Chain A
């Protein structure tokens, strides 16, 4: 059995890739994909700790998060389509209506 550090490292790597994606990419669809990466990083952590402690609750949480991610993707893509219809763009630096 691999020590927990490997899993945590994988999770951390995925998380950092995701964060970099969210912060640096302009295309909102890519940002959405990066968020999925972050969520998956969390899932790996949860499953790893679940295994470590022999407690199945962590895996249940992981399943919830997968369902949540699917819902989030549906809503997010819907918003993006609606937005695209209005403004004909999916670039996040052009979505600046909420500023002061």
Chain B
């Protein structure tokens, strides 16, 4: 039976709640007191969470193969004629609709759940900051965009959410916009993401002209053609042999989409914005740059897994980029001293793991890691925020130490998250990371080796962070030491809840080899079912084998090795880190300067762009202004000079000539006009006399007649 219910019918309310409060905040938030802002904004996210829980519960009540709900609110782009690459004309449409299937279930719960906790935490963390309403307005706008992204039923609507989260990321990174480094970091994030978005858009367009639809699936819809979803269109195309599995067009689409994923999920070579994004407030780093937005790329690839299943080369690229990013970022995390930067590189590295999973065809494992990572990385960031709060804003771990007893709740929850990310069983990180490494070993043993080493590095740098921050003697200055205090309850309670999930969050995907049943993968199975004929045997159900136990023991061993090494370096000081750094000074310097990637990008792209700008500016000044504007000005002036000359000498000249002529001709006569009227009277008299003399005869006649 297709699942029904109030919450499923009203899926659209889930993103709407945060949108309403975001609009409220941005329009009238300035006039509201902080308490009202808190209640409204946190409340709306809580409502979304409640509705999401309700919807997921109702979906779960159905049988696994029917677990999909799709509702189209309205036709967003009206149908129009479009020519496919095969030459067929079809009616293309994009709708505004929401899709809830097992995959979006996981994402929507993670986004609203972790988002809700981070919102609560923010009440305490942002309480003393200016722009409280602005912060929550942006955060709620982010929640709306992210929920649109994960609930969208087609690629174009997903892209709307995709751009929305990018915008909010920009706004929140630059939240302290008076700080130059913060506004620069916001710009950087926005511009780097544009590169990825270009790939995503091209991918959407290529999908549209290849398959004639951008809707993910037609499941859950009743009144549409069978091929109106990407998955259905793919199956139809494969069935009719219009397209073969492994056709180049699939590789192209997959790679274009992956470019988009690289930008959003901070993979090589577009990862550079994420470390800088730490300029934003810490809850932002936790929510956007660790738990939710940066995993949008992973989600998108999993959402499009039908296409990735059909292209081995694209999967190989994804896997290689993922694992190289993982070890590359982990190595940079080794030497960072800023607590948030360490976590940022760690996030990039963990995202690399997720892409390794996707490249290995283990889409469920990738999403599983998205979920567990959201728990423990949000916890790490929130813990880091709490530490920074306690240290009066200090972020340098070299100036911390000895905090374990002073801020016990933060320290213990941070410890749980550190154990989880290091991969210590039975915490969440162990289960998901082991799943990924196990699946990678089956398909790409070479990449598994790199991922394996990265696991050791991860354990090492996380425990380095732990030891430097919480153990040993304090290296803070007196002023900061006096102010060390545990954070308020609005901050510590979310930490504790997340700590619980960091422990138990992985248990729903507990591997079969350890007596579990991996329910998580079974849950996601309906979204992942194979498209077309079997292309490979790689994803046969995992069997309990000696190899698997060996891999598991190996990952535990390397995690313990990493932890032990960190312990010896930073706790017992049996090895001095300074000594190692001096011995390998060249390598250390390269790591410390983050492989000079920012400098290389500056030299290759940023400065070249600026040069182009300067060149265009000069073109503007010299050619456009010089020839165009000034030339036109000169011509106009020349024309008006000519016209003025014509006016003065020809038009006026003719007039003056007439006047002069009149003056000349009137020369003798004008002396009669003396101005004294006695002379005029005399003239009149003379005239009269002449007239009388002339008419004398007639006068005579008149007079005679009178007599």
Contact = CB atoms under 8 A, between A and B. Distances in A.
Interface string B663-707: 000000011011111100110010000000000000000000011
A97 B674 CA distance: 9
Interface in A25-53: 25-26, 31, 49, 52-53
Given A4-B707, A52-B706, A92 B670 contact: no
B349 to A, nearest CB: 105
A23 B675 contact: no
Given A4-B706, A49-B706, A23 B673 contact: no
A92 B676 contact: yes
Contact of B675 (A22, A26, A99): A99
Given A4-B706, A49-B706, A52-B706, A96 B678 contact: no
Interface string B642-672: 0000000000000000000000000000110
Contacts of B682: 23
Interface residues of A, number: 19
Contacts of B674: 96, 99
Nearest to B672: A100
Q: Is the interface of B mostly helix, strand, loop or mixed?
A: helix
Contacts of B681: 19, 22-23
A28 to B, nearest CB: 9
Contact of B673 (A25, A31, A52, A99): A99
A23 B676 contact: no
A93 B706 contact: no
A100 B667 CA distance: 11
A70 B417 CA distance: 123
B706 A92 contact: no
A96 B676 contact: yes
Contacts of B677: 92, 95
Contacts of B678: 22-26, 31, 92-93
**How large, as a class, is the contact surface on chain B?**
10 to 19
A25 B671 CA distance: 22
Given A31-B678, A49-B706, A100 B673 contact: yes
A53 B671 CA distance: 46
A46 to B, nearest CB: 13
A9 B136 CA distance: 120
A2 interface: no
B658 to A, nearest CB: 18
Contacts of A1: none
A77 to B, nearest CB: 16
Nearest to B681: A22
Interface string A69-100: 00000000000000000000000110111111
B706 A98 contact: no
A25 B673 CA distance: 19
Contacts of A24: 678
A93 B675 CA distance: 8
A92 B681 CA distance: 12
A52 B671 CA distance: 46
A100 B675 CA distance: 8
A52 B681 CA distance: 31
Nearest to B685: A19
Nearest to A93: B676
A59 to B, nearest CB: 17
A49 B702 CA distance: 12
B685 A98 contact: no
A25 to B, nearest CB: 8
A74 to B, nearest CB: 19
Given A23-B682, A23-B685, A97 B706 contact: no
A93 B682 CA distance: 14
Nearest to A98: B675
Contacts of B676: 92-93, 95-96, 99
Given A26-B678, A93-B676, A95-B677, 20 more contacts: A4-B706, A19-B681, A19-B685, A22-B678, A23-B685, A24-B678, A31-B678, A49-B706, A52-B706, A53-B706, A92-B676, A92-B677, A92-B678, A95-B675, A96-B674, A96-B676, A97-B675, A99-B675, A99-B676, A100-B670
5 contacts: A19-B685, A23-B682, A23-B685, A95-B677, A99-B676
Which 9 pairs of residues, A with B, have the shortest CB-CB distance? A99-B675, A96-B675, A100-B670, A98-B675, A22-B681, A100-B673, A99-B673, A93-B676, A23-B682
